[in-house]
């Protein structure tokens, strides 16, 4: 069976529409100006995928390595210093230390911003990320130890995504880190919130351990505010990072929700992942429309319910044997006969408005979960023992984005378990002075707590969003901590605050020498004191599709990851990972679909179409990514053709008065 699905959508981009009778090229601008000496400049911009990535990955850059545009540096023996897979992984993990996990579970807002959607469909970025993450685990790759130890110590409160990402970034800078974790295991939501069929436990453990191997000290079962005070940490450490997350599920605020068989989604998933949940019940109602609601529904379908009379039934039709597994994936050696549970998701909006990832929504529907949209909970119906027996809901309409209940439309949904997956909140016990009226933290642009110098905060404690958001917070906070510990001012952050490709650094890495300038640099094509007329605008400009020559790109179907074939007939007890990873060849093919927005990808259009032969390839020993072509300005007549045919928008016109 093929591991990919090829998109069948046809090419959607047409440079010229029906009825167009005029050519709209950049060269027309020559005749509208009083001069013709506007010449090409090389402008690095942020691609929209990267601008949309909460963790700030240098996506375009590592895709360029996977596709073969940028190659690893050559060692003293003339051979590549490392395999391209490792080189791409190391570029990726400059921002995100959890690629194997995030390649599986991130809803990929980067793909929503991809300019390739203007051609035929977005690039499958997180499928390539998963491939690279898997490669690193299979090959046992580790992070480099810091070159220099600073002697500074940072206390990190919380061993989840934000805390471990901060530890990784701080160790890269040579600072010692001690992680204080209230649970008996690191990982936070990775370990206790995500089911193993989405993120296998060995994947989580491997990516967490890789950070610990950098020399991170950990103190488990230690709650700050109870076992150790924040005052102690401030006295004994040079800085503090708070990444406690939002691991308390919001309770349902309706009458009767205090019934013993009403719970929240976070508690439900934690019980499952800790191996304390053997079955869910015969009929479960999940309230909510996000990924947590999908996870709860999928777990409930897998657990099913224990049937005491199963052995007298036709097992082949109504029961299956629970699989052997461990720690929330069932119980090792268990041989319970189970039957499927009926799971219903109740959501107040339309299905198409659910915030859950589309593939997660599609998966639970295929696995037999029923969705009842446009209903709002009214109350929990209890029996004489105080147990919930039904959820009373009312049908609603949406008028001008406002919910309008339909009078007289109330009805009861029978159940024996109600799980509310309607958001999470932060437990600030022992750290109350850092929370505001909204139960979140007030921080500045460097994620330093307001009026608390030396204390930095990231992740859900600032705003409960994605796991990748917490990773991005930790990266920025670590830079702020590093500046604070070095006695440097905490400057304003850039408008586009991402991990950006650094062309000058890359040239040095590849052995190119940039000397100190002794002559005017404007318009030079010969001085080695400059990257000729290059300007990095990445920190302030995200390039739109309109700035690209989309007509260069032909229809190329996406290599889409397949999902394991799990449906209502085989979901019970099924703990297999659902996403089937791309092969190496498939990952490379998908990376080649990247349009490299805002950066040269060496297509040769500018060289081929220049009528004056003014644009030329640089010597191989001077070339790197972004330094493939140069311009002889003594030949350039400012015809704009090179910019007109540049697919990526890297060439723009300048140098004129």
In this prediction, residues 475-488 reach a mean pLDDT of 96
What pLDDT shows up at residue 370?
A: 97
Q: Tell me the per-residue pLDDT of 385-421, one tens digit each, with 9 for 90 and over.
A: 999 999 999 999 999 989 999 999 999 999 999 999 9
Residue 275 has pLDDT above 80, yes or no: yes
Do 153-246+426-485 and 250-422 come out as alike in CATH topology? yes
DSSP per-residue letters across 587-641? HHHHHTT---TTS-----HHHHH-TTS-EEEPPGGG--TT-SEEE-TTT-----H
Task: Please list, in sequence order, all residues whose beta carbon lies within 8 angstroms of the beta carbon of residue 480, skipping any fewer than 6 positions away.
Answer: 446, 447, 448, 456, 490
| Per-domain boundaries in the chain | 4-140+498-560+578-654, 153-246+426-485, 250-422
**Does 215 have pLDDT greater than 80?**
yes
Does residue 615 register a pLDDT over 60?
yes
pTM of the model: 0.89
pLDDT of residue 325: 34
Q: What is the DSSP track for 174-208? A: T-EEEEE-SSSSS-THHHHTS-TTTS-HHHHHHHH
**pLDDT (mean) for 277-302:** 93
Nearest residue to 427 via CA among 269, 267, 246, 252: 246
Helices (H), 249-330: 265-273, 291-303, 315-318
CATH number assigned to the domain covering 153-246+426-485: 3.50.50.60
The third-level CATH classification (topology) of the domain covering 250-422 is FAD/NAD(P)-binding domain (3.50.50)
Check residues 486 and 526 and name the one with the higher pLDDT: 486
Residue 331 has pLDDT above 50, yes or no: no
pLDDT band at 511; cut points 50, 70, 90: confident
Per-residue pLDDT reduced to its tens digit, 513-566: 666 655 555 556 666 656 667 889 999 999 999 999 998 999 999 999 998 999
Structure confidence by residue, pLDDT tens digits, 95-121: 999 999 999 999 999 999 999 999 999
Mean pLDDT of the chain: 88
- Tell me whether residue 399 is exposed, middle or buried, using C-beta atoms within 10 angstroms of its C-beta: 0 to 12, 13 to 18, 19 or more: exposed
The answer for residues whose C-beta is within 8 angstroms of residue 408's C-beta and 6 or more apart is none
Distance separating alpha carbons of residues 266 and 283, to the nearest angstrom: 19
Contact indicator for 284, 344 with CB cutoff of 8 Å: yes
pLDDT greater than 70 at residue 246 = yes
């Amino acid at each position: 069976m093929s591991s990919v699905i090829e998109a069948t959508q046809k090419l959607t981009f047409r440079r010229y529409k029906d009825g167009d009778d005029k050519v709209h090229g950049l060269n027309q601008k020559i005749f509208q100006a009083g001069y013709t000496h506007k010449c090409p400049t090389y402008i690095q911009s942020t691609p929209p995928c990267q601008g949309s990535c909460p963790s700030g990955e240098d996506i375009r850059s590592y895709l360029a390595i996977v596709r073969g545009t940028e190659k690893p540096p050559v060692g003293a023996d003339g051979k590549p210093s490392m395999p391209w897979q490792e080189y791409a992984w190391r570029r990726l993990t400059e921002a995100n230390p959890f690629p194997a996990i995030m390649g599986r579970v991130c809803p990929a807002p980067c793909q929503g911003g991809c300019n390739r959607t203007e051609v035929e469909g977005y690039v499958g970025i997180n499928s390539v990320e998963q491939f690279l993450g898997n490669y690193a685990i299979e090959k046992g790759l580790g992070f480099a130890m810091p070159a220099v130890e600073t002697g500074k110590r940072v206390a990190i409160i919380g061993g989840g995504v934000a805390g471990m990402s901060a530890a990784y970034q701080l160790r890269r800078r040579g600072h010692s880190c001690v992680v204080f974790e209230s649970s008996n295991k690191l990982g936070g939501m990775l370990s206790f919130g995500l089911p193993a069929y989405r993120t296998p436990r060995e994947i989580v453990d491997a990516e967490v351990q890789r950070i610990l191997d950098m020399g991170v000290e950990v103190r488990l079962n230690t709650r700050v505010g109870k076992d150790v005070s924040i005052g102690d940490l401030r006295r004994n450490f040079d800085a503090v990072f708070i990444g406690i997350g939002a691991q308390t599920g919001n309770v349902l605020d309706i009458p009767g929700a205090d019934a013993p068989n009403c719970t929240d989604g976070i508690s439900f998933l934690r019980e499952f992942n800790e191996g304390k949940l053997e079955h869910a019940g015969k009929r479960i109602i999940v309230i909510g429309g996000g990924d947590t609601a999908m996870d709860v529904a999928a777990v409930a379908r897998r657990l099913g319910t224990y049937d005491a009379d199963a052995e007298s039934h036709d097992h082949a039709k109504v029961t299956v044997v629970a699989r052997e597994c461990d720690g929330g994936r069932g119980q090792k050696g268990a041989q319970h006969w189970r039957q499927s549970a009926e799971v219903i998701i109740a959501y107040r909006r339309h299905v198409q408005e659910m915030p859950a990832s589309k593939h997660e929504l599609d998966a639970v529907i295929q696995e037999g979960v029923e969705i009842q949209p446009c209903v709002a909970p009214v109350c929990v119906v209890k029996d004489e023992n105080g147990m919930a027996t039904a959820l009373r809901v009312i049908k609603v309409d949406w008028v001008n984005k406002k919910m309008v209940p339909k009078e007289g439309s109330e009805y009861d949904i029978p159940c024996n378990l109600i799980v509310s997956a309607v958001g999470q909140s932060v437990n600030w016990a022992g750290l109350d002075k850092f929370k505001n009226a909204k139960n979140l933290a007030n921080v500045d642009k460097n994620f330093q707590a307001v009026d608390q110098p030396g204390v930095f905060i990231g992740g859900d404690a600032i705003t409960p969003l994605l796991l990748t958001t917490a990773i991005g917070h930790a990266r920025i906070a670590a830079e702020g901590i590093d500046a604070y510990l070095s006695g440097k001012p905490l400057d304003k952050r850039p408008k586009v605050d991402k991990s950006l490709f650094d062309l000058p650094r890359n040239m040095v890495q590849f052995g190119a020498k940039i000397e100190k300038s002794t002559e005017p640099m404007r318009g030079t094509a010969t001085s080695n004191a400059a990257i000729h007329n290059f300007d990095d605008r990445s920190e302030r400009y995200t390039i739109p599709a309109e700035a690209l020559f989309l007509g260069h790109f032909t229809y190329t179907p996406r290599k889409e990851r397949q999902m394991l074939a799990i449906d209502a007939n085989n979901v019970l007890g099924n703990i297999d990972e659902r996403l089937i990873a791309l092969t190496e060849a498939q990952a490379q093919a998908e990376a080649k679909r990247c349009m490299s927005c805002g950066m040269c990808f060496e297509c040769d259009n500018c060289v081929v179409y220049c009528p004056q032969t003014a644009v030329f390839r640089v010597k191989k020993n001077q070339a790197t990514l972004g330094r493939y072509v140069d311009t002889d300005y003594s030949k350039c007549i400012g015809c704009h053709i090179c910019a007109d045919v540049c697919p990526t928008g890297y060439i723009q016109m300048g140098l004129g008065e």
